[in-house]
Amino acid sequence: MTNTLYQAGHITLVGAGPGDPDLLTIKAMKAIENAECIIFDNLVSREIRQLFPQSAQQIYVGKAKNHHSSTQDEINHTLLNCAQQGLRVCRVKGGDSFVFGRGGEEMLFLAKHGIKVNVVPGITAASGCTTYANIPLTHRGLAQGCTFITAHADKDLSLNWDALATLNQTLVVYMGLSKTQWLRDKLSACGMCPSTPVALIERGCTPDQRIVTGTLETLTQLKEQHAIQSPALIVIGRVVSVSQQMSWLEQLQQTDNNAQPIKLSA
């Protein structure tokens, strides 16, 4: 029986997760292995790209800030052309393609042209990177919810900043590295305490992952002092203190392990 996931002329939209190939779902891995053409983004990690079958045509359509190799319209038509050639096409995106990944736009464009699209969900960066950084998105007594936003927009974001600044929640900012001062000023002006814990997670879920923690007041200073580079995720909220506590406990455990045995008196 033929699986519709692998039929010629169909496109499978795969969320590859935040970087670690072990976080790929079985369904995502099957789609990649059976693809004749793989169209992939900049945020798909090197380790995941190494899993692409050599027999498949590989087309890079990555986009980075100020360095777009392909416009979204060009990507849409590349997908359409490959599908119309009767190829089994796998469109691989970092994270989850429906979370700030424009996967919905691509799916609708292809559907309008009569192309069947299958969607495979992936672990989004907000979930994967925070977990690898020991930061729970929700935690009893610290955060009863979480909100994901993107700071990547041509104009000022139409968000309820008063609610974002005052609700007892975790705020995760995608693509916000170039707007750290703007985020700090916006949230502070709306009532968020300057001492609110923040974390910058660079290249999360990869061997190069770095985590820097501080406060909302020092957000830009942290970025500049540690030369944080994209891709990076910004986490704002009291849950960051859980990661800081874990680091302290780990250091304490290492100290205890290195300590000399205590001699008890007879």
pLDDT at 259 over 70: no
Q: Do 110 and 148 belong together in one domain?
A: no
* pTM check: above 0.85: yes
Within a 10 A sphere around the Cβ of 20, how many other Cβ atoms? 19
In this predicted structure, what is the pLDDT of residue 128?
A: 97
Which of 22, 27, 30, 63 is an active site residue?
63
pLDDT at 2 over 50: no
Interacting residues of 89 by C-beta distance below 8 A, sequence separation 6+: 10, 11, 12, 35, 36, 37, 38, 39, 79, 82, 83
Please, what is the Cα angle at 86 between 81 and 91, to 5 degrees? Answer: 60
In this predicted structure, what is the pLDDT of residue 147?
A: 96
pLDDT at 264 over 50: no
Grade residue 168 by pLDDT with cuts at 50, 70 and 90. Answer: confident
Instruction: Domain of residue 241: give its range.
Output: 126-249
In this predicted structure, what is the pLDDT of residue 156?
A: 61
Measured CA distances, 238 to 17, 150, 214, 230 (Å) = 25, 20, 11, 24
In this predicted structure, what is the pLDDT of residue 249?
A: 72
Q: Among candidates 49, 36, 110, 39, which has minimal Cα distance to 70?
A: 39
Quick check: is 95 in a domain? yes
Q: Do 149 and 113 belong together in one domain?
A: no
In this predicted structure, what is the pLDDT of residue 51?
A: 97
Q: SS3 helix, strand, coil % of the chain, rounded to 5?
A: 35, 20, 40
Q: Do 193 and 111 belong together in one domain?
A: no
Kindly report, residue by residue over 9-60, the tens digit of the pLDDT.
889 999 999 999 999 999 999 999 999 999 999 999 999 999 999 999 999 9
CATH of the domain at 12: 3.40.1010.10
Q: 97 vs 65, which has greater pLDDT?
A: 97
SS3 141: coil
Domain boundary residue among 122, 155, 184?
122
Q: Among candidates 153, 189, 198, which has minimal Cα distance to 171?
A: 198
194 vs 134: CA distance, rounded Å? 22
Q: Among candidates 99, 92, 122, which has minimal Cα distance to 175?
A: 99
b/e string for 35-48 if b means 16 or more Cβ within 10 A? Answer: bbbbbbbbbbbeeb
Quick check: is 261 in a domain? no
Q: Do 107 and 144 belong together in one domain?
A: no
Q: Do 96 and 48 belong together in one domain?
A: yes
Alpha helices in the chain (DSSP H): 26-33, 46-49, 72-84, 103-112, 125-132, 161-166, 180-189, 219-225, 240-258
Query: How is 73-95 classified by DSSP, letter by letter?
Result: HHHHHHHHHHHHTT--EEEEESB
In this predicted structure, what is the pLDDT of residue 262?
A: 37
155 catalytic residue (yes or no): no
Grade residue 208 by pLDDT with cuts at 50, 70 and 90. Answer: very high
Q: 243 vs 203, which has greater pLDDT?
A: 203
Average pLDDT over residues 251-265: 54
**Which of 81-90, 197-206, 252-261 is predicted with the least confidence, judged by mean pLDDT?**
252-261
pLDDT at 265 over 50: no
Q: Do 35 and 139 belong together in one domain?
A: no
Q: Do 163 and 238 belong together in one domain?
A: yes
In this predicted structure, what is the pLDDT of residue 179?
A: 93
Quick check: is 257 in a domain? no
93 catalytic residue (yes or no): no
CATH of the domain at 244: 3.30.950.10
Q: How many domains does the chain have?
A: 2
In this predicted structure, what is the pLDDT of residue 115?
A: 95
Domain boundary residue among 122, 149, 177?
122
Length of the chain: 266
Q: 103 vs 2, which has greater pLDDT?
A: 103
Quick check: is 193 in a domain? yes
Domain boundary residue among 106, 122, 138?
122
Which of 20, 30, 41, 179 is an active site residue?
41
- CB distance 48 to 94 below 8 Å: no
In this predicted structure, what is the pLDDT of residue 95?
A: 96
Q: Do 106 and 153 belong together in one domain?
A: no
Interacting residues of 147 by C-beta distance below 8 A, sequence separation 6+: 164, 167, 169, 170, 171, 172
Average pLDDT over residues 239-256: 79
Q: Do 160 and 135 belong together in one domain?
A: yes
What value does the mean pLDDT of the chain take? Answer: 89
Q: Do 109 and 133 belong together in one domain?
A: no
Within a 10 A sphere around the Cβ of 89, how many other Cβ atoms? 31
Interacting residues of 37 by C-beta distance below 8 A, sequence separation 6+: 56, 57, 58, 59, 82, 87, 88, 89, 90
Q: Do 176 and 236 belong together in one domain?
A: yes
In this predicted structure, what is the pLDDT of residue 253?
A: 72
In this predicted structure, what is the pLDDT of residue 55?
A: 96
Q: Do 142 and 199 belong together in one domain?
A: yes
Average pLDDT over residues 139-152: 92
